[in-house]
Amino acid sequence: MTETKIIDGKAFAEKLRGEIARKVAKLKTEKGITPGLAVIRVGDDPASEVYVRNKVKQTKEVGMNSFELRLPKEITEEELRAKVRELNDDKTVHGILVQLPLPEHIDGFIVIDTIDPHKDVDGFNIINVAGLAVGEDPYFIPCTPMGCLMLLKNYFQNPNNYPKDKVPGQKPLAGLHAIILGRSNIVGKPMIQLLLKEDCTVTIAHSKTANVSLLVKQADIVIAAVGRPEIVKGEWLKKGAVVIDVGINRIASPDGKTKLVGDVDFQSCLGIAAAITPVPGGVGPMTIACLLENTLRAAKCTVVC
């Protein structure tokens, strides 16, 4: 039986935030610049409130300025875009994030494209999306795929973690076969481009894909981002595969309470997967850490770009 390594995203993110805090302090001392992250939240969605609160807390912890704009759900699309334009012109704000989802009467694509691409630290502006799609370096990479890639590259930095049939290449992931379950604009699609750039062979599967389990069985890397609790079973996996679970689903537990699970049936994968991210404590903490990394880059760019 394979001994499955648990990929500790929480510990990795904590280390990354520590590095960011040191770089922020240096930027303040040497250039007199304090990175600033502005988060816009529209309405009172409970999940969004939790996410924004965590982002604000961690932004302050690394020494950055945090600007939170809470706007009523009745705000018009043009009024919201006007707020974004104000932040575009604000030199103390280096990164702008519009928390999704937005109310139904507001077109999220139009609002996101109002953000200056040099401040689009979520990586969702069409300029950044297009740059990633054509294989160029965008200003910013979407945070969750960026975090997934960091965890994968860290794991495969160790040549002992290569599959036995892989000839090591110049890049840690070169030659590996990855399957991405889910084609969202936030995770699935950008993940394709990031893995291609690392010289992976990439398969994308979605709700209309036939024989998904057979495709998964061929993959060295499985990235699950479909939003369906525990859909990926251990029996689907190739022995020794590395599993990155992006899903966050709340389900009922036997004690009558609820619990968080991923898109992967974690227990059934133990002993089959070579490594796996847990939920919680895997990809989740990496998303905010990568947001802070992007904000730091945006602030540094005001000096050297």
Nearest in space to 24 (alpha carbons), one of 60, 56, 69, 54 = 60
Question: Choosing from 23, 55, 119, 238, which is the catalytic residue?
Answer: 55
Our answer to whether residue 55 is catalytic in this structure is yes
Helix (H, G, I), strand (E, B) or coil at 272: coil
Our answer to whether residue 99 is catalytic in this structure is yes
Contact 132, 190 (CB under 8 A): yes
Any residues with CB less than 8 A from the CB of 126 and at least 6 apart, and which? 109, 112, 113
Indicate the angle between helix axes 284-304 and 9-31, nearest 10 degrees: 20
Our answer to whether residue 122 is catalytic in this structure is yes
Written as one letter, the residue type at 80 is L
Question: Choosing from 23, 58, 83, 99, which is the catalytic residue?
Answer: 99
Written as one letter, the residue type at 299 is A
Cα separation, 178 vs 182, in Å, equals 13
Query: Half-sphere exposure of 127 toward its Cβ, with a 13 Å CA cutoff?
Result: 12
Question: Choosing from 23, 120, 122, 263, which is the catalytic residue?
Answer: 122
Written as one letter, the residue type at 263 is D
Contact 273, 241 (CB under 8 A): yes
Cα separation, 31 vs 90, in Å, equals 18
Cα separation, 15 vs 109, in Å, equals 33
Cα separation, 101 vs 45, in Å, equals 8
Per DSSP (E only), the strands in the chain are 5-6, 36-42, 65-71, 95-98, 177-181, 201-205, 221-224, 242-245, 249-252, 258-261, 275-276
CA distances from 271 to 1, 104, 152, 178, 266 (A): 5, 44, 19, 20, 10
So which residues are the catalytic ones?
55, 99, 122
